[in-house]
Structure 1
Amino acid sequence: MSESVWYARILVVDDQVTHLRALCDILGRHDFDTTGCSTGEAALAELKHHPFDLLLTDLVMPGIDGLSLVEAARKLDPEIACIIMTGEGTVDTAIKAMKIGVLDYIVKPFKAASLLPVLERAIESRRLRRQNAMLETALRARVEELGRLNTVLDAARKEAERANQEKSTFLSSMSHELRTPLNSILGFAQILASDKFPKGQGDTKHFAGNIVQAGRHLLTLVNEILDLAKIEAGKVALAVGPMALDAVLRDAYAIVGPLAQARRIRLAPLAETRLELSADQTRVKQILVNLLSNAVKYNREHGHVSVRCEQHNGYARIAVSDTGLGLTPEQLAAIFQPFSRAGREDSNQEGTGLGLTITQRLVVAMRGSIEVESQPGVGSTFRIELPLLDSAAIPTQAASATPAGADSTPCRTPS
């Protein structure tokens, strides 16, 4: 007998007790684990409480007959191997038995020598079915896993394509931005160096001034590109610690004040704020100067800029509002993209187009957030939130009394 049937559990059912005992004894001597029942009802109870590999049942029995028992057994365990024994079999009963899943049909009387090969084939069939079921389950799991992996790979591919496209766009824009001041420097330098163009002292000074201006713009652009590269690589050095917001705001106001005065833009007075942040003071000043200078540069004539500060859920919320032209939803969607200028690439305002990109990355790096609200023709408000040093910080009043209409006051393009 093969190894595959040595430890098979067999339920033998026969209403002839003498025949039942003889079968159990014979099968037991051949290393089968057998359980005998003299009624279909008793056999069904065993099947409900114990697992069996094979059901060997008489066909004709009082109460639950062999075919009914087979049907009930296969509902409990679809993989159980079933064999019918009968001394009164017909072709019709044999056909019906095969239809309900009986593997073999043995006619009484029979000898052990003829029964054992039948049992071995039936148990081997059960083993193969169970093995096939496990393989199908494993295959389905593998297919599902491959499906998930394909989804992840597809998302990664799309992200790589997006990143590559962004890199190409960035490099293309950067090349354009770098060429503009370089062409200006080279052009005026060539004029100064040429003997073909008569130049007075005023012209020389004017050309030299243009070269200096273009050089400064180029240096700013290079510095901001390097700054952005460090931030993107996670290598930007942040000295996060306690800082007083009021002092940094006033420093930023002092820096932007001359620009606002030159453009006749009114900076609304700052109200005192006692909020203390957990942030990098130098980077916070850089962020505020960028937002305020944008609010000035892209404002309307005789417009105003205001700043409000408040405490919100453990964060300091700083809102910079202007009365500029505002932005459309399409422009807002690109507001933090490098060189995008929020759809105002044709603007004659100075700027590298990287200011808001760097601002967003710095705010996020300091565990904060930034958002913008804008209404065309009304203005824009840039709102940043940075962690407070103490979530129980004393609440502050509005940092400025924002003039009517300035709450949604518009915007500037990224500088």
Structure 2
Amino acid sequence: MSAPAPLPVSTRQRLSEVRYEIRGELARRAGELEAQGRTLIKLNIGNPGSFGFRAPAHLQHAIADDMDRTDPYTHQQGLPHAREAIAAAYARRGMPDAHADRVFIGNGVSELIDMALRALLNPGDEVLVPSPDYPLWSAATILNDGRPVYYRCRPEDGFAPDPNEIETLVSGRTRAIVLINPNNPSGASYPRALLERIVAIARKHNLLLLVDEIYDQILYDDAVFEPVAPLAGDHPCLTFSGLSKVHRACGWRVGWGLLSGQASRVAELRAAMDLLSALRLCANVPGQLAIEAAVNGPDTISPLCAPGGRLYESRKAVIAACAASEHLDLVAPAGALYAFPAVVGEAARGFDDHQFALQLMEEEGVLVVPGSSFNVPYHHHFRVTLLPDAATIADVFGRIDRLLTRRAEAAGKVVQLAGRLTAAR
């Protein structure tokens, strides 16, 4: 009698609820095509180094000059001088209680988001998350046994949330409100009055504010960034940022979180995050050497976002391409590194964003992210990064428009055929 076949290794069931298409199935298919010799323009990831950007020289020197000090573990919350520099920088912004002992440095903001939700959530607890969201927020909530509850940021409202809707979603299990400002993927930048209303909801219902401000200095035209922590005052708020985007140093994996609010109200959360930080020993030490230079050094991002700057001109090219296309509609991004166009008209008939993204890659050699990957209920958007130069953007949208024109023509023929069949009856 033969022995039973060995069973495969099973995995956590909740992983089936997690989506991260930014590096998912489409990205794997892109790898297969590239292995076959295809050249692709990959606009799926906001990765500045892949588009010729470099971290500023003064940050590079800060690491190189002190590299011989990076061999040992450091404090679990991060290098003391780096945390002091972060606290001082945020105190200048008006953040209350900006002290080094409330700063946590992590291997990117992603690690800190996961850590914060692990510290906060009990099974079944709810977190209010924007839709569209950066999907890590949903994934980290789910994998820490919580439940994301989505508040809509609708295109017709410029992707701004409705505070009245947010409040209707609060339940007895709600623990936190997530704000991504400026927003990824929409590029929306929230005005002060809107943020004040959301802070008031958090205060009324005793909810932690989890504020993702990784794109805080990437703004266009007359957009203004409003940090949430100064508006929250003594109310508990955890603010996230880092070196990846503003300082173009994604691979260094340096993020930070600052816990603000009345000491007695945040003490337990602070202790929990300290414990979780200690369990992973410490964050990448070499990258932390650049923090003081980053927060105290020259502004290197604003010139890229001003007229004539690379990011500004690429954004301008996206706006122009969408305006010229009968198939696309765009809410112009006010900040961050992305645009989130909608497919409209005949091309949108029977449109499926995932199928479109696959077809665009295989037929036109362009990789984008389906809009539904960002936890929205509709399927006619896609996200592109603004990191390529303006000429590449123009080329990409020419390819997108060609495909959408073919789809519109095919949809029109189907409608005509259906009309003839109906008439023949």
TM over 0.5: no
Question: Normalised by the size of structure 1, how large is the TM-score?
Answer: 0.22
| Larger relative contact order (CA 8 Å, sep ≥ 6) | 2
Which is greater in Rg?
Answer: 1
